[in-house]
Structures are given as C-alpha cells and as structure tokens.
Amino acid sequence: MTTAADAIDPVVGDALRDAAAWRLLARLFECPSEAWRRDIAALSRELGDAPLVEAARLAVEEASEGLYHSIFGPGGPAPPREVSYHATMELGSLMSSLTGFYGAFGYQPAITESPDHIAVESGFLAFLNLKRAYALIEGNEEHKAITAAAARDFRIGHLAMYAERLATILADAPAGYLQMASRILADRVGPRPGPRQLLVIQPEPAEDGGEFACDM
C-alpha cells in the first residue's frame, strides 16, 4: 500500500512511518472511544505494516471500555504501568527519569494517564520520531542525532524493561488487538537489557512547547 510518506525523501519517509507506527501503537493501548476509533482507522491508512494494520482493524471491531478496564484496570491481569514491573525501583526515581525525558523535548501527552503508562511511553517514541523527521527535513544533523539517541535510550531504559512481560501476559487476553499490539511492541523494543542504569535527562524549556488537545 502506498502512503503519504512514500512521496517524499526515503529517509524522511522512514522517520515519518516510524512516528505513525509508534503513534498507532500508543493509541491501541489507550481506553477506547468513538474519537479513538476514528483515529485508529486514520492512522492505519498511513502504514504499510501489515500486522499493525491488522491490529488496528481488530481494535475498531472488538474494543470496548469494559473490555479495556477488565484487562488494564485495577485488579486486571495486565498492569499498564512500568512501575508494576520493577521489584526494587522507587517510584520517585522512575518518575524523575520519565519527566526528565519528557521535559527535555517538550512532550505533553494528550491523555491523562500516569507518565509511566504504556500508552504515554509509546507516544513519546512517536513524538521523538516526528522530531527526527523534522530535523531531517531541516538538515539539522545535531537535532537528528539528539533525537535518535534519546529514542534509543528511552526504548532500552524504559519500554524494554517490561514490553516482553506485558506481551506474555496479554497473549491470553480476550482481546486480539491487544495480543497483537503487545507482541508488535515487544518485537520493536527488543529484549530486556541487563542490570538497569537509570538515565535521567534534565529538562530545558521547550522551544515549541504547548499542550496537545485531548480527544478522549
């Protein structure tokens, strides 16, 4: 399938496709709504990733608030927050690392979930890939390198710490779209790293800050 990203420079197109894929993954882990369904369908039309497009199709068909909360809600089988997968880490240290990353790049999630929620963390990688695409368009090698390094460090230091475990739990979930989304996510972030070295980025004022509108 031809997408809008195919009509521009291949390197920029790859960054935009990565951003769209991460954005779709992030949305798949959010609580469903009618606006959510419309966004899922629109994002899937911009991708050539067949498994992710199929996950989006299933999401539009089968997702519901009740199903979502039975899986991710209090007492559900699959905690959606990173902190739930750490045996010894203090919540304050985890939040400091996350807010440091988010603040350094001016990331303001559109949803009101905790900073360590799977949808918020996945959305940050979408945001970084979009910034990388802009840096490529502008020919700004420094910004391209910074965003690429931040995406790598965040992926390894946060999402990889629990993506595989979440996918294992969701493999038996009564929601095919979450089974697929969690497996795609785990494959994208790679295996859990060795002993954790928590990276904290000190935020600086964002040049293009401002809140994203919440459509939930």
- From 88, 87, 159, select the one nearest 122 (Cα to Cα): 159
Q: Where are the domains of the chain?
A: 8-189
In this structure, of 3-17, 56-70, 100-114, 158-172, the range with the lowest mean pLDDT score is 3-17
- The CATH topology of domain 8-189 is TorD-like (1.10.3480)
How remote is the C-alpha of 55 from its chain's centroid? 15
Confidence band (pLDDT; 50, 70, 90) for 202? Answer: very low
CA distance 63 to 68: 7
| pLDDT surpassing 60 at residue 12 | yes
Q: What pLDDT shows up at residue 146?
A: 96
- Of 41-55, 109-123, 189-203, least confident by mean pLDDT is 189-203
Residue 193 banded pLDDT, cuts 50, 70, 90 = confident
What is the reported pLDDT for 211? 37
Say what the pTM is: 0.84
Q: How many percent of the chain have pLDDT more than 90?
A: 74
* pLDDT at residue 197 greater than cutoff 70: no
Q: What is the CA radius of gyration of the chain?
A: 17
Q: Please state, in angstroms and rounded to a whole number, the distance separating the CA atoms of residues 101 and 82.
A: 15
**13 confidence band (pLDDT: 50, 70, 90):** confident
Report d(CA 59, CA 30) in Å as an integer: 11
Mean model confidence pLDDT for the chain: 87
| pLDDT for 5 | 52
Per-residue pLDDT tens digits for 57-92: 999 999 999 999 999 999 899 999 999 998 777 888
- Residue 39's H or E segment, with its range, is helix 34-44
